[in-house]
Protein backbone atom coordinates (compact mmCIF):
# COMPACT_ATOMS: atom_id res chain seq x y z
CA UNK A 1 0.00 0.00 0.00
CA UNK A 2 1.17 3.48 -0.76
CA UNK A 3 1.72 5.95 2.01
CA UNK A 4 -0.74 8.60 1.03
CA UNK A 5 -2.20 11.62 2.72
CA UNK A 6 -5.57 9.93 2.55
CA UNK A 7 -4.55 6.64 4.21
CA UNK A 8 -7.27 5.72 6.68
CA UNK A 9 -6.38 5.09 10.30
CA UNK A 10 -6.76 1.36 10.88
CA UNK A 11 -7.60 -0.47 14.12
CA UNK A 12 -4.77 -1.25 16.55
CA UNK A 13 -4.00 -4.91 17.29
CA UNK A 14 -0.83 -6.58 18.56
CA UNK A 15 1.48 -7.46 15.65
CA UNK A 16 4.81 -7.88 17.43
CA UNK A 17 5.27 -9.02 20.99
CA UNK A 18 8.06 -10.09 23.29
CA UNK A 19 7.77 -11.97 26.55
CA UNK A 20 10.51 -12.25 29.14
CA UNK A 21 13.07 -11.06 26.60
CA UNK A 22 16.61 -11.16 28.02
CA UNK A 23 20.13 -10.86 26.66
CA UNK A 24 23.40 -11.43 28.45
CA UNK A 25 26.83 -10.50 27.18
CA UNK A 26 29.00 -12.72 29.36
CA UNK A 27 28.06 -11.90 32.96
CA UNK A 28 26.43 -8.60 31.95
CA UNK A 29 22.67 -8.58 31.39
CA UNK A 30 21.93 -5.86 28.83
CA UNK A 31 18.20 -6.73 28.55
CA UNK A 32 16.23 -8.19 31.47
CA UNK A 33 12.83 -9.78 31.26
CA UNK A 34 11.27 -7.30 28.82
CA UNK A 35 7.61 -7.67 27.81
CA UNK A 36 6.59 -5.58 24.81
CA UNK A 37 3.42 -5.33 22.71
CA UNK A 38 3.63 -3.37 19.48
CA UNK A 39 0.31 -2.50 17.83
CA UNK A 40 -0.75 -2.08 14.24
CA UNK A 41 -1.60 1.54 13.39
CA UNK A 42 0.36 2.89 16.36
CA UNK A 43 3.69 4.63 16.88
CA UNK A 44 5.44 3.08 19.89
CA UNK A 45 8.50 4.76 21.39
CA UNK A 46 11.29 2.98 23.22
CA UNK A 47 13.15 5.52 25.30
CA UNK A 48 15.71 5.51 28.08
CA UNK A 49 19.17 6.77 28.98
CA UNK A 50 22.30 5.83 27.03
CA UNK A 51 23.16 2.19 27.50
CA UNK A 52 19.63 1.28 28.69
CA UNK A 53 19.44 -1.55 26.13
CA UNK A 54 17.24 0.02 23.42
CA UNK A 55 19.40 -0.95 20.46
CA UNK A 56 19.94 -4.40 21.96
CA UNK A 57 16.14 -4.86 22.13
CA UNK A 58 15.95 -3.91 18.42
CA UNK A 59 18.73 -6.37 17.64
CA UNK A 60 16.82 -9.09 19.50
CA UNK A 61 13.50 -8.34 17.80
CA UNK A 62 15.08 -8.47 14.33
CA UNK A 63 16.99 -11.61 15.39
CA UNK A 64 20.30 -9.92 14.66
CA UNK A 65 21.06 -11.13 18.19
CA UNK A 66 19.70 -14.38 19.63
CA UNK A 67 17.91 -13.84 22.97
CA UNK A 68 19.35 -15.55 26.05
CA UNK A 69 15.77 -16.08 27.28
CA UNK A 70 12.24 -15.17 26.32
CA UNK A 71 10.10 -15.36 23.20
CA UNK A 72 9.13 -13.14 20.27
CA UNK A 73 5.96 -13.38 18.19
CA UNK A 74 5.51 -11.61 14.84
CA UNK A 75 2.06 -11.54 13.25
CA UNK A 76 1.02 -14.63 15.18
CA UNK A 77 4.18 -16.63 14.39
CA UNK A 78 6.81 -17.48 17.00
CA UNK A 79 10.08 -16.09 15.58
CA UNK A 80 12.27 -16.78 18.61
CA UNK A 81 14.30 -19.26 16.57
CA UNK A 82 13.82 -17.74 13.12
CA UNK A 83 17.04 -16.68 11.35
CA UNK A 84 17.40 -12.93 10.69
CA UNK A 85 17.29 -13.19 6.89
CA UNK A 86 13.70 -14.46 7.08
CA UNK A 87 12.47 -11.68 9.35
CA UNK A 88 12.25 -8.91 6.72
CA UNK A 89 10.31 -11.18 4.36
CA UNK A 90 7.90 -11.87 7.20
CA UNK A 91 7.19 -8.14 7.43
CA UNK A 92 9.49 -6.82 10.17
CA UNK A 93 11.88 -4.28 8.71
CA UNK A 94 14.45 -2.19 10.47
CA UNK A 95 15.37 1.03 8.81
CA UNK A 96 18.94 2.26 8.39
CA UNK A 97 20.23 -1.29 8.50
CA UNK A 98 18.66 -3.45 5.82
CA UNK A 99 18.16 -0.56 3.44
CA UNK A 100 21.13 1.33 2.14
CA UNK A 101 21.32 4.39 -0.04
CA UNK A 102 23.63 4.15 -3.04
CA UNK A 103 25.24 7.61 -3.35
CA UNK A 104 25.94 7.41 -7.09
CA UNK A 105 22.39 6.44 -8.02
CA UNK A 106 19.51 8.87 -8.37
CA UNK A 107 16.66 9.00 -5.89
CA UNK A 108 14.46 7.18 -8.42
CA UNK A 109 17.03 4.44 -9.03
CA UNK A 110 17.60 3.94 -5.31
CA UNK A 111 13.89 3.32 -4.82
CA UNK A 112 13.72 1.10 -7.92
CA UNK A 113 16.61 -1.04 -6.66
CA UNK A 114 14.80 -1.45 -3.33
CA UNK A 115 11.57 -2.41 -5.10
CA UNK A 116 13.35 -4.91 -7.34
CA UNK A 117 14.88 -6.53 -4.31
CA UNK A 118 11.44 -6.97 -2.75
CA UNK A 119 9.92 -8.39 -5.88
CA UNK A 120 12.86 -10.72 -6.43
CA UNK A 121 13.28 -9.17 -9.88
CA UNK A 122 17.00 -8.51 -9.54
CA UNK A 123 17.74 -12.15 -10.27
CA UNK A 124 15.93 -12.03 -13.61
CA UNK A 125 17.62 -10.44 -16.61
CA UNK A 126 14.56 -10.54 -18.81
CA UNK A 127 11.45 -8.75 -17.72
CA UNK A 128 8.25 -7.90 -19.52
CA UNK A 129 7.99 -4.14 -20.07
CA UNK A 130 4.72 -4.10 -18.15
CA UNK A 131 6.41 -5.22 -14.91
CA UNK A 132 9.00 -2.45 -15.24
CA UNK A 133 6.21 0.06 -15.77
CA UNK A 134 4.52 -1.15 -12.64
CA UNK A 135 7.80 -0.79 -10.77
CA UNK A 136 8.26 2.77 -12.05
CA UNK A 137 4.74 3.74 -11.07
CA UNK A 138 5.23 2.31 -7.57
CA UNK A 139 8.64 4.05 -7.27
CA UNK A 140 7.12 7.41 -8.17
CA UNK A 141 4.27 6.83 -5.74
CA UNK A 142 6.75 6.16 -2.91
CA UNK A 143 8.91 9.14 -3.86
CA UNK A 144 5.91 11.41 -3.84
CA UNK A 145 4.61 10.03 -0.55
CA UNK A 146 7.81 11.00 1.27
CA UNK A 147 8.02 14.39 -0.43
CA UNK A 148 11.06 13.74 -2.65
CA UNK A 149 9.40 14.48 -5.98
CA UNK A 150 11.58 17.49 -6.73
CA UNK A 151 14.73 15.48 -6.02
CA UNK A 152 13.56 12.47 -8.07
CA UNK A 153 16.44 12.68 -10.57
CA UNK A 154 19.09 14.03 -8.21
CA UNK A 155 21.99 11.83 -7.14
CA UNK A 156 21.58 10.56 -3.59
CA UNK A 157 25.07 11.92 -2.84
CA UNK A 158 23.84 15.45 -3.58
CA UNK A 159 20.95 15.33 -1.10
CA UNK A 160 21.14 17.06 2.28
CA UNK A 161 21.63 14.79 5.29
CA UNK A 162 17.95 15.01 6.23
CA UNK A 163 16.77 14.20 2.70
CA UNK A 164 19.11 11.21 2.58
CA UNK A 165 17.45 9.84 5.72
CA UNK A 166 14.06 10.43 4.08
CA UNK A 167 15.28 8.48 1.03
CA UNK A 168 16.39 5.68 3.35
CA UNK A 169 12.89 5.56 4.78
CA UNK A 170 11.46 5.38 1.25
CA UNK A 171 13.72 2.43 0.38
CA UNK A 172 12.61 0.74 3.61
CA UNK A 173 8.95 1.30 2.73
CA UNK A 174 9.65 -0.32 -0.64
CA UNK A 175 9.93 -3.59 1.30
CA UNK A 176 6.32 -3.01 2.37
CA UNK A 177 6.86 -3.74 6.06
CA UNK A 178 4.00 -4.57 8.42
CA UNK A 179 6.17 -3.53 11.34
CA UNK A 180 8.81 -0.83 10.96
CA UNK A 181 11.64 -0.40 13.48
CA UNK A 182 13.40 2.96 13.49
CA UNK A 183 16.51 3.52 15.63
CA UNK A 184 16.84 7.26 16.26
CA UNK A 185 15.38 8.37 12.91
CA UNK A 186 15.81 12.06 13.80
CA UNK A 187 19.46 11.84 14.89
CA UNK A 188 21.50 14.70 13.49
CA UNK A 189 18.55 16.39 11.79
CA UNK A 190 17.53 20.03 11.79
CA UNK A 191 14.08 21.19 12.89
CA UNK A 192 12.62 21.29 9.38
CA UNK A 193 13.66 17.71 8.55
CA UNK A 194 12.39 16.56 11.95
CA UNK A 195 8.98 17.98 11.02
CA UNK A 196 9.05 16.24 7.63
CA UNK A 197 10.11 12.87 9.05
CA UNK A 198 7.54 13.16 11.88
CA UNK A 199 4.81 13.62 9.29
CA UNK A 200 6.07 10.65 7.28
CA UNK A 201 6.14 8.41 10.36
CA UNK A 202 2.65 9.50 11.40
CA UNK A 203 1.36 8.72 7.91
CA UNK A 204 3.22 5.40 7.63
CA UNK A 205 1.76 4.29 10.98
CA UNK A 206 -1.82 4.64 9.78
CA UNK A 207 -1.46 1.31 7.99
CA UNK A 208 1.51 -0.23 9.83
CA UNK A 209 3.09 -0.57 13.25
CA UNK A 210 6.10 1.60 14.05
CA UNK A 211 8.49 1.01 16.95
CA UNK A 212 11.07 3.74 17.31
CA UNK A 213 13.98 4.59 19.58
CA UNK A 214 14.04 8.34 19.97
CA UNK A 215 15.98 10.69 22.22
CA UNK A 216 14.09 13.81 21.13
CA UNK A 217 11.25 13.91 23.66
CA UNK A 218 9.23 16.55 21.87
CA UNK A 219 9.08 14.17 18.88
CA UNK A 220 7.96 11.37 21.23
CA UNK A 221 5.30 13.65 22.74
CA UNK A 222 4.20 14.74 19.28
CA UNK A 223 3.88 11.47 17.33
CA UNK A 224 4.04 8.46 19.69
CA UNK A 225 0.87 6.83 21.01
CA UNK A 226 2.65 4.63 23.52
CA UNK A 227 5.98 4.92 25.33
CA UNK A 228 8.10 2.22 26.98
CA UNK A 229 10.92 3.45 29.20
CA UNK A 230 13.95 1.21 29.64
CA UNK A 231 16.53 1.60 32.36
CA UNK A 232 19.51 -0.71 32.79
CA UNK A 233 17.86 -3.28 30.55
CA UNK A 234 14.52 -3.32 32.42
CA UNK A 235 11.18 -1.70 31.79
CA UNK A 236 10.83 1.19 34.20
CA UNK A 237 7.48 2.56 33.04
CA UNK A 238 4.99 2.54 30.18
CA UNK A 239 1.97 4.45 29.05
CA UNK A 240 1.27 7.46 26.88
CA UNK A 241 3.75 10.30 26.96
CA UNK A 242 1.75 12.35 29.47
CA UNK A 243 1.67 9.45 31.96
CA UNK A 244 5.28 8.44 31.52
CA UNK A 245 6.69 11.96 31.66
CA UNK A 246 4.86 12.59 34.96
CA UNK A 247 6.16 9.39 36.55
CA UNK A 248 8.60 10.45 39.28
CA UNK A 249 10.80 7.37 38.68
CA UNK A 250 11.11 8.28 35.02
CA UNK A 251 11.86 11.89 35.85
CA UNK A 252 14.63 10.84 38.20
CA UNK A 253 16.09 8.03 36.10
CA UNK A 254 15.68 9.34 32.61
CA UNK A 255 15.33 13.06 32.76
CA UNK A 256 17.49 13.56 35.85
CA UNK A 257 16.63 16.77 37.62
CA UNK A 258 15.64 18.53 34.38
CA UNK A 259 12.08 19.50 33.70
CA UNK A 260 10.50 17.31 31.03
N1 LIG B 1 27.80 -6.87 21.69
C2 LIG B 1 27.88 -6.41 22.93
N3 LIG B 1 28.77 -6.93 23.81
C4 LIG B 1 28.85 -6.49 25.09
N5 LIG B 1 28.11 -5.49 25.60
C6 LIG B 1 27.21 -4.93 24.77
C7 LIG B 1 27.05 -5.34 23.41
N8 LIG B 1 26.07 -4.59 22.83
C9 LIG B 1 25.65 -3.75 23.80
N10 LIG B 1 26.32 -3.94 24.95
C11 LIG B 1 26.11 -3.23 26.23
O12 LIG B 1 24.72 -3.36 26.55
C13 LIG B 1 24.24 -2.15 27.11
C14 LIG B 1 23.05 -1.66 26.29
O15 LIG B 1 23.52 -1.15 25.04
P16 LIG B 1 22.56 -0.59 23.93
O17 LIG B 1 23.42 -0.23 22.77
O18 LIG B 1 21.47 -1.53 23.71
O19 LIG B 1 22.01 0.73 24.63
P20 LIG B 1 21.08 1.88 24.04
O21 LIG B 1 19.94 2.02 24.99
O22 LIG B 1 20.80 1.65 22.62
O23 LIG B 1 22.04 3.16 24.24
P24 LIG B 1 22.19 4.49 23.32
O25 LIG B 1 21.08 5.41 23.76
O26 LIG B 1 23.53 5.01 23.75
O27 LIG B 1 22.11 4.10 21.89
C28 LIG B 1 25.40 -1.18 27.14
O29 LIG B 1 25.97 -1.22 28.43
C30 LIG B 1 26.35 -1.75 26.11
O31 LIG B 1 27.68 -1.42 26.41
MG1 LIG C 1 21.21 2.68 20.86
Per DSSP, helices labelled H in the chain are 54-61, 84-87, 107-119, 129-145, 161-173, 191-204, 217-223, 241-246, 248-253
Pocket test for ligand 1, best of 54, 185, 213 (most atoms within 8 A of CB): 54
| Cα(21) to centroid(ligand 1), Å | 15
- Predicted confidence at residue 116, as pLDDT, reads 85
**The ligand 1 atom nearest the CA atom of 58:** 18
Contact 183, 46 (CB under 8 A): no
Rounded to 5 degrees, φ, ψ at 127 are: -140, 140
**Domain 95-176 belongs in CATH node 3.40.50.300:** yes
Enumerate the CATH 3.40.50.300 domain ranges in the chain, comma separated.
12-91+178-190+207-260, 95-176
Output the CA 147–ligand 2 centroid distance in Å: 28
- What's the fold here for domain 12-91+178-190+207-260? Rossmann fold (3.40.50)
The pLDDT tens digits along the chain (260 residues) read: 445 555 677 778 999 999 999 999 999 999 999 999 999 999 999 999 999 999 999 999 999 999 999 999 999 999 999 999 899 889 999 886 445 789 999 999 999 988 887 665 555 556 666 667 788 999 999 999 999 999 999 999 999 988 998 999 999 999 889 999 999 999 888 898 899 999 999 999 999 999 999 999 999 999 999 999 999 999 999 999 999 999 999 988 765 544 43
Nearest residue (CA) to ligand 1, atom 17: 55
pLDDT value, residue 244: 94
Residue 148 is predicted with a pLDDT of 95
pLDDT for res 124: 55
Query: How far apart are the CA of 52 and the centre of ligand 1, in A?
Result: 7
Q: How far is the CA of 165 from the centre of ligand 2 (A)?
A: 17
Query: CB count, 10 Å around CB of 243?
Result: 13
Amino acid sequence: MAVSATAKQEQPRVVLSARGLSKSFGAFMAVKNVDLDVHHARVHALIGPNGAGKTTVFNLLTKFLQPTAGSITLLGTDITKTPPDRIARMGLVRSFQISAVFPHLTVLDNVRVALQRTNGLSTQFWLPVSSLDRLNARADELIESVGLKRERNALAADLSYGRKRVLEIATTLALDPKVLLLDEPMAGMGQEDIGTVSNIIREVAKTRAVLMVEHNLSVVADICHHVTVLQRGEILAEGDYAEVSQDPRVRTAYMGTEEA
